[in-house]
Chain A
Amino acid sequence: MTGCSKPLLHIENLCTRFDTLDGVVTAVDGIDLEVYPGETLGLVGESGCGKSVTALSILRLLRCPPAAIEGRILFDGRDLLQMDAEAVRSVRGSEISMIFQEPMTSLNPVITIGEQVAEGVRLHKRLTRTESWQRAAEMLQKVQIPSPENRMSQYPHKFSGGMRQRAMIAIALACGPKLILADEPTTALDVTIQAQIMSLMLRLKDELQTAIVLITHDLGIVAEAASRVIVMYAGKIMEEAPVRELFKDPRHPYTRGLLGSVPVIGRSKRPSRRLQEIPGMVPSPLRMPSGCRFNPRCSQAMPVCCTEPPPMIRLGEHRRVSCWLEAESSGTKGSRGQGFK
């Protein structure tokens, strides 16, 4: 969709390792990805596949040590990993902001909502107290919190989960960031509220021309909101595709497994069609299988899958898959380095 424009965020070979007492855990292992201005990129995978760590690595919010982050994270042409701490701090909130999963705990219980929204604006836009308060009121209006002027002087415990997530969105958008990292923004909410929050986020995204990295395990939300999807498994990218293609023609067995494990109400009249599960469990980060990380759970695993990590095969613009099946069929067997460039 926006293939010709320059990427806003360009991640090259990002590795995030944690030195734990049990050994080195590689939570994110050499991922490459691009986010274009104004688009919504879905980052999908099971718990513990490195989605959240990727987001926290981008903002350098992981404590270093124990985390060691390598690679390049180019945001607007600047490498976030090379910047000094103060420069990164000024990027956080003003150019890249983050929405967390838990609206119940992501607001400080002892500070009023208005103060929490106004704080970021005051910090990054250097506004006075009154100006930032007005700006906060506008933002709360934008996220459809009724009578924002009254609500601003209230504490978070008076807000419901959905309202709190609206307030979080207001905080995230208050400084007009170019990129929002939304880490499971609707997971903790009721289904009806989920839909409201998602449509609110998408509307505001279009209005403010912000790009979103939508981290989730909910394929329904991805189908609805994202334009492009990256599927992660055990710290690696398995497949990338525009959203329609991913759902129509998933190439990686893991993606097919994920799609098969989603119940679709009323799709099948046959009672025999059971929900497909992916057998086995996510491997422990301390004992990653050799070769392809998905091979112990893959129904189509071949001998080569257990010995050699699969190459990243490019199938088109924004379409790539890391699987030996694809390598076999496209005849690039064993020739690695054909990766995504």
Chain B
Amino acid sequence: MTEETDKNVCLPVELSAESRFRRFWAKLRRNKAAVAGAILLLIYILCALLAPVIFRGNPAAPNLIMALEPPSLKDLLGTDELGRSILGRVLYGARISMLIAIGVVAVGLFIGVPLGLVSGYFGGKADFLIQRVTDTMLAFPGFLLALALVSVLGVGINNTVISIGISMIPLYIRLVRGCVLTVREEVYVEAARAAGTRDAVILFRHILPNVMVPITVQTSLSMGTAILFAAGLGFLGIGVQPPTPEWGAMLGSARGYLFNAPHVATFPGIAIFLAVLSFNLLGDGLRDALDPRFKI
């Protein structure tokens, strides 16, 4: 305790990046919902990574003799209409949905963030053009846009990622543009311009790090949405195709057995629910913890 006090006396203006991180961490830890979200997410990631360790066997290989078995010790979550273990398919499905979530936000980030930066910083004609395209894209509900794109591009995991990714781009453009409009008026941006710094350097070195907080939060929330959209497309049969174990597609094929074998639809449904919930809880928690105005 005394050592701590001494340290503070020696360094009176101590509020380093490290201690800011500690503050953020303390705030996040105090938020029970966010902690629950983080734990769920951790379990989800572990399931995705360790799927082959937890479940030995091929989740896509049919075994018709075992079709529609209820949960038992042999098959903890039962089997589906083709006799495949639902546990295995849910675990491997976590990998697919994780891949889709990462791919989707990558598309959104790599295209949406630069466009938002340019739009907000330069203004003028570029801004007008980007914003009108964004308006047009936002006029469609996100899922409808993804659905339309998939019907043009065709089914499959890559096209699912691309089409959901594209439907996320306008959200990033709007978010980043709004933040840049505030940050570009800061004196340090003007000072950088007065020092002869190039626009590209100002954008990526001076402005981008100052808008990372909302981007981080949006990324967490979009991952949840991406999983939901992918499941929706899978359910409709135009997303990831069987026999790939995808949660939405599992739900879709299980809907015929809702009454005689409800477990087939229940477990992938729970998986989707928990995965989306984990991202949303964590995203909300991150927003609260990263926002300096929000004090707990």
Chain A residues at the B interface, C-beta cutoff of 8 Å: 59, 61, 63, 89-94, 97-98, 100, 102, 105-111, 119-120, 123-124, 154-155, 157-160, 168, 171-172
Contact = CB atoms under 8 A, between A and B. Distances in A.
Contact of B198 (A59, A61, A89, A100): A89
30 contacts: A59-B194, A61-B193, A63-B123, A89-B196, A89-B198, A90-B196, A92-B194, A93-B197, A94-B196, A97-B194, A98-B194, A98-B195, A100-B190, A102-B187, A105-B187, A106-B187, A106-B188, A108-B206, A110-B210, A111-B205, A111-B206, A123-B196, A123-B197, A124-B196, A154-B16, A158-B15, A158-B16, A160-B13, A171-B191, A172-B195
A163 to B, nearest CB: 9
B15 A157 contact: yes
Contacts of B135: none
A93 B196 contact: yes
A60 to B, nearest CB: 10
Name which of A108, A155, A157, A168 has the most chain B CB atoms within 10 A of its CB.
A108
B209 interface: yes
B295 to A, nearest CB: 18
B191 A100 contact: yes
Interface in B175-212: 186-188, 190-198, 201, 205-206, 209-210
B53 interface: no
A252 B13 CA distance: 48
B10 to A, nearest CB: 13
Given A158-B13, A171-B195, 5 more contacts: A89-B198, A92-B194, A100-B190, A106-B190, A171-B191
What's the interface size class on B, roughly? Answer: 20 to 34
Interface string B140-171: 00000000000000000000000000000000
B291 interface: no
B236 to A, nearest CB: 44
Contacts of B198: 89, 123
B213 to A, nearest CB: 11
Contacts of B187: 100, 102, 105-106
Contact of B193 (A92, A119, A123, A160): A92
A123 B196 CA distance: 8
Nearest to B13: A158
A43 B116 CA distance: 39
Classify the secondary structure of B's interface with A: helix
Name which of B16, B188, B205 has the most chain A CB atoms within 10 A of its CB.
B188
A17 B190 CA distance: 20
Given A158-B14, A158-B15, A106 B191 contact: yes
A123 B206 CA distance: 15
Contacts of A100: 187, 190-191, 194
B16 A110 contact: no
Contacts of A94: 196
Contacts of B195: 92-93, 97-98, 119-120, 123, 171-172
Name which of B193, B196, B198, B205 has the most chain A CB atoms within 10 A of its CB.
B196
Name which of B16, B186, B195, B198 has the most chain A CB atoms within 10 A of its CB.
B195
Contacts of B210: 108-110
B197 A119 contact: yes
A91 B196 contact: yes
Contacts of A159: 13
A109 B20 CA distance: 12
Contacts of B191: 98, 100, 106-107, 168, 171
Nearest to A92: B196
A100 B191 CA distance: 7
Contacts of B17: 155
Contacts of A123: 195-198, 201
Nearest to A96: B194
A172 B192 CA distance: 11
Nearest to B184: A63
A82 B71 CA distance: 80
A119 B194 CA distance: 13
Contact of A155 (B16, B123, B193): B16
A94 B194 CA distance: 10
B188 A108 contact: yes
Nearest to A181: B194
B183 to A, nearest CB: 10
Interface string B60-96: 0000000000000000000000000000000000000
Given A102-B187, A110-B210, A120 B205 contact: no
B197 A105 contact: no
A59 B194 CA distance: 7
